[in-house]
Chain A
């Protein structure tokens, strides 16, 4: 069993109250040792699905929740496979698969309250499902019918963000605003290991810490940024260690363990909700598919490596747990499979051959108050459209 509680690690913490940095009425700076991630990622489920609870990461899940975690992971995998197929059939221009990261996405998103927000990257179909976003809407971006298909305010799920890590700042600003309003919500940004080299996540974490914003930075460390492995991305002991530099706790979790991901995320989210500030969660996982359907991973990783991670499959591991708990009945499994098939069929029906909208709509959403020349250009496109007929 891994001990994670750093409470015993309080050497020198008492001296810090007397640090000579002007505090401007803020809480004293934390003891850096108290912010450090554990030596090993938090794991609750072993490979055989055996559960070992860890101090500080209580599981408050009921049977229905345990089933839901499984349900969302299976849905995510099925919908993901359908999306890859749709791309191969020429229905999507490109698609970024999440296979292998189901536990990281579902476990983390499951830890949020309805009022909370997610600011995703482009690989977050699993998290989107948990938030109730229609996967067909998510795929509009990849089909190219429009640049986004869902209403962020409906499910508190931001637009998919392609410029790496830029969405982290939006989560920070959103959380700053909610805090100003005294509204109880936590804003979570999702980004990958590669994004931690960018400037925006750095600025987002620093701002969040300085303003004590109710944020969680959820990093899916899936081992590669397209082809570049983590060791070429950073020389930090881990991504979670970077949190210490911002004065926030860094948590590390086995991202292929849905229960551990949930529990660690819950700790981070609860902490933010209590007004104790932001934190960083690094989920160790692995992208089983190519970066996108346009990528050829055989050029940068081995079949053996893939096999090693296949053995850690997040859904298979969780199935073993559910079986042992008597929760994975044949009826339940069949019901989930049927639901997943239904999702995939609906998504296919929604996105296959989905037409783009009226080309004249190009002018409709650029400005609330468009410039006069839009009328001329709209008229021009209108004439061009007539000429095509």
Chain B
């Protein structure tokens, strides 16, 4: 059957709540409304107000109370309504969610999933299109994953909810309506494994979340140039599957990392560093990074000039090949 990424997430939440009555889902507007993107649609109807509920409008409150519930023995899944509204919860995430297991010397486990719709491209108003993944990938104690396909959305979310470690789960909001022929439930590769979405020989594109689709589009367009591009979906930023990345570079000799976030200090730098450490002699050219410019996320009418697109990606490929 044809499913969208949003439906896959909704089904994953449903199935996880069905499978384990300690799984609870809460956040802003996730109950009666079913979430502003309808990811929690009908969960309250199905599981009752005790297990899928609206909270007061307070992100630190949502994450901080999830810490207490997880300490008690629940497996909270919480929704940050938008990327740009995650910041009030930053202290709870960094100082408690990420550190509690380590501080307690392994005695306290916090199986929390923090769902964050992220990225731009939907013409949204300010603060609704950010890509804050590098903050969290940099924070020891967190796992950070982001699906690029509906099947992965289902499988990665189920695995995140089952994980004993806290997971920051970035949902590529402009891909919520991305379709795929798939049968749910589905189990794809585990967290920590990257997947080659398109085999190629000319150069490797490394992407995650919303940019996986864009890179596949770029690879298709590149065929006209006679380039056979490989597209690697990282899926998991922490842990990062360095082996699959290195293996790809070993075959193509050219690496371009693509994300929506600003390039400076972005996650692409980590990928580039790992490639240069582990695949130096395979490289025919420096690793290039393609991302948003180092400016605040722009107003909606200007986002097409900020965001990486097929042309910006292919331009980088051309520079790499011409090095």
What residues of chain A have their CB less than 8 Å away from a CB belonging to chain B? 119, 146-148, 151-153, 158-159, 163, 166, 168-178, 180-181, 187, 199-200, 203-204, 206-207, 210, 364-369, 371-373
Contacts and interface: CB of A to CB of B under 8 A. Distances in A.
16 contacts: A119-B68, A153-B107, A159-B100, A168-B64, A169-B60, A169-B61, A171-B68, A173-B68, A173-B71, A200-B92, A203-B58, A207-B61, A365-B105, A367-B165, A368-B101, A368-B109
A365 B64 contact: no
B239 A172 contact: no
B65 interface: yes
A187 B67 CA distance: 13
Contact of B103 (A147, A168, A174, A200): A147
- In the A-B complex, list the 3 residue pairs whose CB atoms are closest, starting with the nearest: A173-B68, A169-B64, A371-B239
A364 B140 CA distance: 12
Given A148-B104, A169-B61, A371-B192, A180 B50 contact: yes
Interface in B94-135: 95-96, 99-109
B69 interface: yes
Contacts of B51: 180
A119 B67 CA distance: 12
B257 interface: no
B25 to A, nearest CB: 13
Given A174-B71, A373-B239, A159 B61 contact: no
B96 A166 contact: yes
**Which of B95, B107, B242 has the most A CB atoms < 10 Å from its CB?**
B107
A204 B73 CA distance: 19
Q: Tell me if B's interface is mostly helix, strand, loop or mixed.
A: mixed
Interface string B41-82: 000000000110001101011011111111111101000000
A169 B24 contact: no
Nearest to A361: B105
Interface residues on B, range: 35 or more
Contact of A371 (B55, B68, B96, B240): B240
B140 A166 contact: no
Given A180-B74, A200-B92, A173 B67 contact: yes
Nearest to B76: A173
Given A371-B192, A371-B238, A372-B239, A174 B165 contact: no
Nearest to A148: B103
Contact of B72 (A148, A169, A178, A369): A178
A144 to B, nearest CB: 13
Contacts of A152: 71, 104, 107-108
Given A169-B68, A172-B65, A172-B68, 12 more contacts: A119-B68, A152-B107, A159-B108, A170-B67, A176-B69, A180-B50, A181-B72, A367-B165, A369-B164, A371-B192, A371-B238, A372-B192
A163 B102 CA distance: 16
Nearest to A141: B103
B214 interface: no
B60 A199 contact: yes
Given A173-B72, A174-B71, A177-B74, A166 B64 contact: yes
Contacts of B95: 163, 166
Contact of A176 (B68, B99, B165): B68
A372 B69 contact: no
Contact of A170 (B71, B106, B140): B71
B239 A366 contact: no
Nearest to A370: B239
Contacts of A178: 72
Contacts of A159: 100, 103-104, 108
A91 B38 CA distance: 56
A173 B65 contact: yes
A116 B196 CA distance: 51
B91 interface: yes
Contacts of B64: 166, 168-170, 172-173, 200, 203-204
Contacts of A166: 64, 91-92, 95-96
B141 interface: yes
A146 B96 contact: no
A275 to B, nearest CB: 15
A177 B56 contact: no
Nearest to A209: B56
A152 B92 CA distance: 19
B163 interface: yes
A143 to B, nearest CB: 15
Contact of B69 (A119, A146, A177): A177
Contacts of B143: 367
A365 B109 CA distance: 10
A260 B107 CA distance: 35
B140 A366 contact: yes
A174 B74 CA distance: 9
Contacts of A163: 91, 95-96
